[in-house]
Structure formats: C-alpha cells, structure tokens
Amino acid sequence: MKRRTAVLISGRGSNMAALLANAADPAYPAEIALVLSNRPEAPGLELAARAGVPCLVIDHKRFGPDRGAHEAVIDRALRQAGIELVCLAGYMRLLTPFLVQGWAGRMLNIHPSLLPAFPGLNTHARALAAGVKLHGCTVHLVTERIDSGPILAQAAVPVLPGDTETALTNRVLRQEHILYPLTLALVASGLPGRTDPGTALLNPLPPETRAA
Ligand code: GAR
C-alpha cells in the first residue's frame, strides 16, 4: 500500500516536482496526497495543481507571531488528509516542538549541504567561501534542533575550480532531485505500522543485515 505523503513547500517546488514525477510510477511506495504551502504565491503550487494533486495554502501571515496556531491548522489538515509521511521541500519556516514531535520519525527534510556542515541558509556561498572540495545535499529526519536530525541519505558533488554560486547550486540541486525521491522510497517501504513509529525509519535495512 502506498504511503500517503504530504509535501510542504514555500517556493519554487523543484524538489516537490521530483517527488511527484517519481511517485507517478505505479511501483513507487509513496503517493503525494497533499501539497501544502505557507505562501499563497509559491510557484510550486501551480505545478502541483497542474499535476492534479490536492493543494492547500495555510498562510503563516494570517497567524501573526503565533507559530503554534499556524502549526495547529497544518497538523489538522495533515491528519484530516490521512497523511503518514511529511516531506519538507524548501519549506522555509522554523517548526516548533508541537509539529516536530507530532510527526517524529515521519517528517523528512532536504538540506542543501553535507550536514553537519553548513546548517542554515546560504549554504552554497558558505561552502565556496570555506574552500571545501566536496559539497552536496542531505535528507534527514526532522528533530527540534534545526538541520540536525538523523541523516538518512546524502549525495556529494565536487566543488570545481572557478565554480560560481549558481553553478554549484545547480550541481547540488540535480542531486537533490535524485536523492529525495530515493530516500522517500526507502522510508516509505520501511515504514512500520502506526503503532510502532520510528524504528524502521532509523534502521531501514532488513533486520538480518543490521549491525548488532
Ligand atoms: C532546495 O535547494 C532545498 O534543499 C532548500 O531550498 C531549496 C528549495 O528549492 N532547502 C533549504 O534550504 C532548507 N533549509 P525547491 O523549492 O525548488 O525544491
């Protein structure tokens, strides 16, 4: 059975589009059942609507500084839609413990660096400034400390001589579009029943191949 997955976006939605494209395969273990944006003008919404995916805007501006109230509405929408997994894909809001704990082990994020290097914003410029030779992207479980949850998968790219920020951004983004669908598939196929959250996500290999 395909896992009902929501994708949360704030902008362009290219990772969301990659997830949608992969989920179109009948054999893919997750179904994108909802796309939710905190910004009504997010270009990704149009892409999702064109793909026939139910879209919802829950504009954070309506809630002023009350993050909890915003998240309560998001949480209700996710549960009403029968969502089992949540993928943050360029969702640019800090989350409170309420949403993070409510979806612990079931909420993934993609971050444009090889965590734990370069958490936060402007990762590509910072990677160039630091002179690293390898850069990349990470899919991790979301926990209360930003960009610090258990790492599920990473893809590395070289930083080439003369790289501009744009060139590096695009090189990483191409890998994001491969890594996120692969990781969601891994998680969705290992997802345990609702009564046993977490363990299979953190140990996605079959039990006989796990280290003791
Ligand atoms: C992606 O590069 C994603 O890794 C990054 O925002 C971009 C969204 O692009 N996320 C973060 O920086 C989260 N801290 P997209 O809307 O085209 O997927």
Nearest one of 32, 28, 1 to 17, comparing CA atoms: 32
Verify cis geometry, omega within 30 degrees of 0, for the bond prior to 116: yes
Residue 147: half-sphere exposure toward Cβ, Cα within 13 Å = 19
Is 135 designated active site? no
Residue nearest to atom 2 of ligand 1 (CA): 112
Cβ proximity of 23 and 31 under 8 Å = yes
What is the distance, to the nearest Å, from the Cα of residue 92 to the centroid of all Cα atoms in its chain?
11
Cα 96–Cα 101–Cα 105 angle in degrees, nearest 5: 125
Q: Give the ligand 1 atom nearest the CA of 10.
A: 16
Q: What is the pLDDT of residues 133-158, one digit of tens each?
A: 999 999 999 999 999 999 999 999 99
Q: Residue range 68-93: average pLDDT? A: 98
Q: Which residues line ligand 1 (CB under 6 A)?
A: 9, 11-15, 44, 89-90, 110-112, 173, 176
pTM: predicted TM-score of the whole model, two decimal places: 0.91
Confidence at 185, pLDDT banded by 50, 70, 90: very high
Could you tell me the distance, in angstroms and rounded to a whole number, from the CA of residue 102 to the centre of ligand 1?
A: 23
What sign does the dihedral 23-138-77-14 (CA atoms) show? Answer: negative
The residue type of 199 is: T
What tokens does 144 get? 């209360």
Q: What is the pLDDT of residues 44-70, one digit of tens each?
A: 999 999 999 999 999 999 999 999 999
Could you tell me the distance, in angstroms and rounded to a whole number, from the CA of residue 92 to the centre of ligand 1?
A: 8
Could you tell me the distance, in angstroms and rounded to a whole number, from the CA of residue 212 to the centre of ligand 1?
A: 36
What tokens does 143 get? 């926990």
Of the chain, the end-to-end C-alpha distance in Å amounts to: 30
Residue 187 has pLDDT above 90, yes or no: yes
Q: Give the ligand 1 atom nearest the CA of 120.
A: 14
Q: How far apart are CA 85 and CA 194, in angstroms?
A: 11
What tokens does 7 get? 């994708």
Cβ proximity of 99 and 74 under 8 Å = yes
Three-state secondary-structure class, residue 138 = strand
Could you tell me the distance, in angstroms and rounded to a whole number, from the CA of residue 195 to the centre of ligand 1?
A: 31
What sign does the dihedral 113-10-79-27 (CA atoms) show? Answer: negative
Q: Give the ligand 1 atom nearest the CA of 11.
A: 16
Catalytic residue among 60, 70, 111, 140: 111
